[in-house]
Amino acid sequence: MLLRRKKQSRSVRPKTNKCTGHNGKRHWSAWMFPIGGLLALIWFLIRVIPKPSRATYPCQRAAFPLASGFVIWLVGAVGSIAAIRKAKRCFAPATLGSDQNPPLAGSRYVLGVMLVAVSVGSIWLAQSITTEKVVLADEPIANAPIGIAKGIHPGRVVWVHNPDATDWDGPGNGYWWESSHTNQTVVDRMMGRAIRALSGEVASTAAWDKLFRHFNKTHGKGNVGYKSGQKIFIKINYVGCIAVWSRRPVTKLEDYNLRSLDYMNTSPQMIIALLRQLVDEAGVNEADITVGDTLCYFPNEYYNMCHEQFPNVRYLDYLGKFGRTRAKLSSVAFYWSTPDAADKATDYVPVSYVEADYLINMANLKSHNDVAGITLCAKNHYGSLVRKPARQKDYYDMHKDLPYTTPGMGHYRPLVDLMGHKHLGGKTLLYLIDGLYAGKHAKEKAPRKWNSSPFNGDWSSSLFVSQDPVAIDSVGFDFLWTEWDDAPHRSGTTDYLVEAALANNPPSGTFYDPDHKGNAARLPSLGVCEHWNNPTDKQYSGNFKTGKGIELIKLSRAVSHAAATVYSSN
């Protein structure tokens, strides 16, 4: 009876899974890598075998590491299992009647040990190869400016922070760009304050006149302001609306609706605020302004808001349908300053850039988890050449010399060429970073609230403005580095800032000259690069008056219910 009871107790005892160590419960997370790797391999083969050039597509470049890792893992696992099975045979006792002598038995044990080593080595090798090795950057050196600061007040960057601009509960509660969630009146006020603080003038009209005059004087056009009829192109960032990679046909107006409703694009409120400044304060005719992103479609949701306020502005996009202006290429060449581009097809600058007398670069405050670490004003120009940045094998691949594929400092960086070409960075009057809803591109499809001070669990609700392209991206980097510990911390993320600041004699030795096919005229320093003293004080050498570096002007409204606006310039 006792024996029977013991058997019954053993028979109802839950079985233990040798793989998971848990009672009959599978941990599906253990299967995520092999399943994901298998799917990635199948997807990669289906897409690439019929057309090998697709291997350079961003989606295939993303799938390949997982697919190849799966193959290596599978080979390692099979090799390990085969080796351990053979080792078991070697360690098994000889059968009765065997005529093996002791020396031969000893060799079996030696072989068994070797096979165990092979098994362990196979697993270790597979694990080491399939584990991503991310090279991280050292902590930035504070208050050590390099390069030559630009602007009326050299190196000045204005940061306006106002929590009243944003009122959104997050995904699932409407959309951040709706007028009920982003306050146009507050954004208008932020834009006006930023322009006035940048120039040092108390009136917006005088501020714009000062900006235009400074640009014209430094570009050999004399002490003259804006003249009626001169054209302005505003480069925005609509990367969440890329049309050049989409196979979705656009045959009716509804096809222009947003497809990624929460993505971090340049906000329509920021565009409207800038247009109001240009038209109402600077005296620019609507018809002389073009705004858009050459690789993207201008979605109905944004277009309707902007067009209602400014119907005569030209809204440019890749398709040019339903009232939009289509992006076209000019005959003005763009040359990459690297031998790797020597046998590639020539790029050309868009017509809208060539026809413009002035450019305004309006980027977004975002990290870049794919390849660049950060994406600010310089990276905004990856949408400026009206062709697929990485898909067309005949052209130079703009992504291969970014930090993910080329980590470390002292390398050629294509961003410097984009910052320096005479029809791109060379024509830029103003640099802006829309930081109302900052996020992680392209890892996430919606913005994130920030935990660092002064945001403290709220949206970033910010606007950055400068005349110095290196300084504004340096400040944007400091904010992103402080808030997030992933992409901005990749080694090489700030290399383009150093190369641009020292473009006349860069650490890489590159002869940066995007305007000529050969080495004819080296770019000068494009601005000043510096990192703040600490995330709390956010001070640069220009604030301390100790060097010719960045000066961060901070204009903030401390809390949404504050009775007065708080100004700070240190």
* Same-domain status, 252 and 306: yes
| 125 and 150 together in one domain | no
Structural contact between residues 376 and 470, judged by C-beta atoms closer than 8 angstroms? no
The half-sphere exposure of 175 on its side-chain side, counting CA atoms within 13 A, is 15
Non-local CB neighbours of 485 within 8 Å, separated by 6+ positions? none
- Residue 442 preceded by cis peptide, ω within 30: yes
Q: How far apart are CA 409 and CA 252, in angstroms?
A: 48
Instruction: Report yes or no on 11 lying in a domain.
Output: no
Q: Which domain holds residue 384?
A: 146-220+232-533
Residue 564 located in a structural domain: no
* 463 in a structural domain: yes
Q: In this structure, are 256 and 180 located in the same domain? A: yes
Residue 178's pLDDT is what?
Answer: 98
Q: Is position 126 within any domain?
A: yes
Q: Is this structure's pTM higher than 0.85?
A: no
Q: Residue type for 119, please?
A: S
The pLDDT value recorded for residue 151 is: 98
568 assigned to some structural domain: no
Looking up tokens 């509960």 gives 169
Same domain, 314 and 429: yes
Same-domain check for residues 203 and 119:
no
Positions in the chain short of pLDDT 50: 1-27, 29, 53-54, 56-58, 95-101, 129-132, 558-570
Q: Are residues 422 and 522 in the same domain?
A: yes
Q: What does the alpha-carbon distance between residue 521 and residue 518 come to, in Å, rounded to a whole number?
A: 9
Tell me if residue 432 falls in helix, strand or coil: strand
Distance, CA of 153 to CA of 309 (rounded, Å): 33
Residues 200 and 176 in one domain: yes
| 414, part of any domain | yes
Spell out the residues 6+ positions from residue 406 whose beta carbon is closer than 8 angstroms to its own: 400, 492
CB 384 within 8 A of CB 391: no
Tokens of 340: 């790797």
Residue 333 and residue 462 in one domain: yes
Q: Distance between alpha carbon 284 and the CA centroid of its chain, in Å?
A: 32
Instruction: Report yes or no on 138 lying in a domain.
Output: no
Residue 88 lies in a domain: yes
Phi/psi for 361 (5° steps) reads -100, 110
Residue 460, token pair as written in the block: 């970033």
Number of domains in the chain: 2
Residue among 181, 205, 180, 179 at smallest CA distance from 192: 205
Say whether both 176 and 65 belong to one domain: no
Same domain, 213 and 123: no
Q: H or E segment at 373?
A: strand 373-375
Residues 65 and 185 in one domain: no
On whether both 476 and 423 belong to a single domain, the answer is yes
